[in-house]
Structure 1
């Protein structure tokens, strides 16, 4: 823009000089007198120096004025250019600031959205953890409750079983004691009866003993045979223990006429084995009897030796 202004100033200056030359030439008096004889006569008109000086002064003033006007115009142009540049810079700064504000706002918005997402994610994580903890606690409580219920049920069942076992054991013991008492009472009564019968038939037995013969041997054989049967029945019900090995027990059995056990007593032998043998006798409860009354009489009181 400054180069263009300079060109314009040069053109104006050249134009002013050309105008000055024209004015100088215009002020000169070029007059030809037709009446003068032909020859080499030259007439010159004198130029007024004051007027020329005045015109030069005017030209200088005009040039100065034009120069000042051009300078003023250039100053105005520079001022306008500076103002426009300032305005442009201000506008650019405003636009830059708007962009910066927009970017800052967008960044702030993104940051806020990020924080919101993080907060939501953290909240969801906390909720999930809370649900998992609740589920674990509920599962644990359920397992513990089930364990307590199972333990209570087991304890109740055990208590019932123990009570039932105790009742059964008590009933069994009472029944056993009653049976033993009844057997003892019967045995005592039978012993008294047997004693009376023995006294009554002692003479007859002595007579039969004297007779001897085949009948006595038959009776003895039958007694031995039934004794072996009784011993086998007792051993079948005997609870054998390792400690019984090599031991023996001698028992006396008192039976009714139909073979019912009236009493069993220990004559000799291992006490533990004898207790087991007596229990086995009571379990048999009733032994077989032959049809021969003489043999039955011999079997009602019989001694047996039990050896596992």
Structure 2
């Protein structure tokens, strides 16, 4: 292609010079002056060979100048071609390195995801175990409550039976007194004494029953207090387990958020070893409402914020207490 362009330029240059010579020859004076002379004499104007040599030299100089210009143009083209090829190789190497870094990051993300899945499975098993323990504790509580209720019912029945027996006896005593008074007025005093004795006995029995009831009630109250103390201790233990569960969930979802950001993070080697601290504000469903830079390398932070916006919606847990903690969270991103 370059050789063809050079030949075309040379041909055009030769044609221009030939045309220039023709024009010079055309402008030369070839007219013949008619003079009266003796005989047949021909007079002609001669062209100076020095002029022709000068024109030929000028043509050769123009040809050499055109050739030199063409060689310079070809040299510039070669330099530009070499520079473009070097730039292409540099860009290709940079793209290859970025792809390699991304593959490495994706591999690390997959491994982290596997570890998270194992941890999640362990957390599910622990939660199932805790639920089973809570059910067992609830059954123990229900059994204790049923026992207390059964005892209270039995005590109430004993009290009712005693009252019914006392009522029956009082009726019998009243009937006996009336019969005795109707039969013998003389026995009125004796019957009155018998009635008084019976009343004293009944009062003593009632007093004994009241004392027995008070003692039974005191035992029930003591048992109930012991059971309530045990339940309070269990509730405190469950609260500690709940706080630990929330902390574990926060750590797990923070790690998942970092993994999602790393998947979309595109940076070069210039920010390797740098860190960027971000603050994320999320909706309850994980939608990104705002992301801001707290500290760190500006270049890395710009790439990290772009990666967050590409994620768009982060996964959120079912526990509302954990969601509340995750809606505004600080993360540190490091490539």
* TM-score, L = length of structure 1: 0.35
- Please say which structure displays the higher CA radius of gyration: 1
* TM-score, L = length of structure 2: 0.33
